[in-house]
Structure 1
Amino acid sequence: MTRPFRFGVVAPIRTDLPTWRDHVRRIADSGYSTLLMPDVAQWQPAPGPALATAAALTDLRVGTWVYASPLRPAWMTAWEAHSLSVLTEGRFEMGIGTGRPGMEDELRAKGIPVVAPSERLTQIRETVRALRELDGSDLRTPVAMAVRGAKAQALAAEVADTVTFALMPEESRADVARLVSDFRAIGDRELALHVSVVGDSVAPFMAPPDTDPAALRAADSLAILPSDPAAAIDEIQRRRAELGFSYFVFGGDSADTMAPVVAELAGR
């Protein structure tokens, strides 16, 4: 099934609040589907209050990109996600994963036990189970899951509505094609692509600051798109036709650059 295009923006609060609020309104006016928040403690306000604020400003959908399952009890994440669904009248999407590379150091620094990857997947399963119980029969919060290995893919095929792959920026198109093929063998879900670089602009919170755009282009990485709108439109259409990606997530600093692309493709 060919799904229509939609576009999200990871837009953490990195400026004064009036500037950020103006940015959120501009994102909404440009036709983006979703405003997203990373789960990075102490670098920005917590995702829940920030997303509730964004949802009150516009009619955008809002979501986490993504909750790190080891950072909090499953029931707490589920309660916050359900609460955001209620407060936004169904416009919240819960993104969740097992954590960024180096998560173990962050957990130790916060005094949180470091658990094995399999236990992190169990935490995700328990979070979604608790969320479904809280939602009841009148509400269904969409779940986006960041996956990599076979066990994570299997869980996503079972519980997620949207799947994004936890990729290293330098991985090639061929590498991603294999991951997509493996997943498509077990599940048909909306596929989201995390695009951390547009032209030579590297998005904070989405890629390491030392990411080299030229190296990504040389590797034929899907983590980068051209800044020229016409070229980006062609490449995005290619990625849906060849790989099935229909939901594209950009960094906040590239939202204006990609606005003509969104205007052309959103909903098609």
Structure 2
Amino acid sequence: MTTPFRFGLVALPYPGADWSGTARQVEELGFDSLLVPDNLHATPAALACASAAGVTERIAVGPYVVATPLRNPGLVAADAAGLHQLSGGRVEFGLGAGRPDAEDEARQLGVEFGTPGERMAHLEATIDAVRVRTPDVHITVAAAGPRMLALGGRLADVVALGASPFATADDLARMADTVRAGAGDRADDVQLNVNLSAVGDEVPPWLAEKMGLTMERLVEARTATYLRGTPDDMAETLVERREPTGISYVCAGANHAQDLAPVVALLRGA
């Protein structure tokens, strides 16, 4: 089954920036979702999402993704339920077992980060708590390793593939196969998502600084997380990649909104 394309933007509200204006622009440009990173030292994702929902009518909002080892499952479920209510049901609530730097945040909060197995168990308990309190909330699970990919396939509505910026189409296809194997009979109901490392001719500054990414390195690696060329070229690339990988939900940083918007116009819902 071919799943229609959806598109999202990932953004943080910065001090002094027009967050309401950003949310409205995301909707006006035709994107399907506005997603907010979970960062201990930034505006809490649930608050930013509630604010964005209040000034928009169509787009989904949600954290991308909550580091569940830092939080009690019941409190996460309460946040999801509140956001579901305030947004009129327009929620994609992202959950994960914690990115690598979340361990430092755990120390700052005075909580145990746990072993990989413990974090996976805590994530599953959090998913259960959210489902029990608000059964129709759409849940995204971010996953990279085989066990997490299989868990996402088994329990999530969307699995965000935590691929390296240098991942090839074959790499993404292997990750997708693991998700589908974990999903079993519900494989057709699980949407696969990828967050692009770059669109057009600019590498996001934070990636360039953190990982030393350049356009030349991305092109040389033949990465499948980078889109370049005209809007028609980019649309054709996404369509070609959808068949072997099953990826139909494409996200990018908000700095790529204008570059990706023409592609959204060509492919959204197709």
Q: How much has 1:204 moved relative to structure 2? A: 6.2
Matched, 1:20 2:19: yes
The CA deviation string for residues 94-119 of structure 1, in whole angstroms up to 9 with x for no partner, is: 11111222332332233221201111
Which of 54, 57, 60 is matched with 1:56 structurally?
54
TM-score, scaled to structure 1: 0.91
How far apart in 2 are the matches of 1:107 and 1:160?
A: 25
The offset of 1:35, in angstroms, is 0.4
Q: Which runs of 5+ in 2 are unaligned?
A: none
| Pairs within 5 Å for 1:146-157 | 146-157=142-153
Instruction: Name the CA distance, whole Å, in 2 between partners of 1:15 and 1:31.
Output: 25
Which one is further off, 247-256 or 107-116? 107-116
C-alpha separation in 2, matches of 1:83 and 1:10: 21
Instruction: Give the letter for the 2:105 counterpart.
Output: E
Shift of residue 205, structure 1, vs aligned partner: 6.8
**Residue in structure 2 matched with residue 202 of structure 1 by the alignment:** 203
Identity of aligned residues (%): 34
Show the 5 A alignment for 1:69-148: 69-135=68-134, 139-148=135-144
Name the TM-score, length of structure 2 as normaliser. 0.91
**Whose helix proportion is higher, 1 or 2?**
2
Alignment match, 1:193: 194
Q: For residue 201 of structure 1, give the secondary structure of its aligned residue in structure 2.
A: coil
* SS of match in other structure, 1:178: helix
In the superposition, relative to structure 1, how do residues 212 and 112 fare at CA in structure 2: closer, same or farther (>3 Å)? farther
| Contact preservation (8 Å) 2:70, 2:113 | no
Q: Is there any run of 5+ residues in structure 1 with no aligned partner, and where?
A: none
* CA root-mean-square deviation: 1.8
Residue 263 in 1 paired to residue 256 in 2? no
Offset, 1:157: 2.1
The CA deviation at 1:26 is 1.4
1:45 maps to 2:43 = yes
* Partner Cα separation in structure 1 for residue 170 and residue 220 of structure 2: 13
Distance 1:30 1:119 in 2: 41
Which residue does the alignment assign to 2:4?
4
Matches within 5 A, 1:228-247: 228-247=230-249
Q: Which residue of 2 aligns with 1:184?
A: 180
Instruction: State which drifts further: 152-161 or 241-250.
Output: 152-161
Any idea what the Cα deviations from partners look like across 1:127-158, whole Å, max 9, x if unmatched?
111112211xxx51001111122321232122
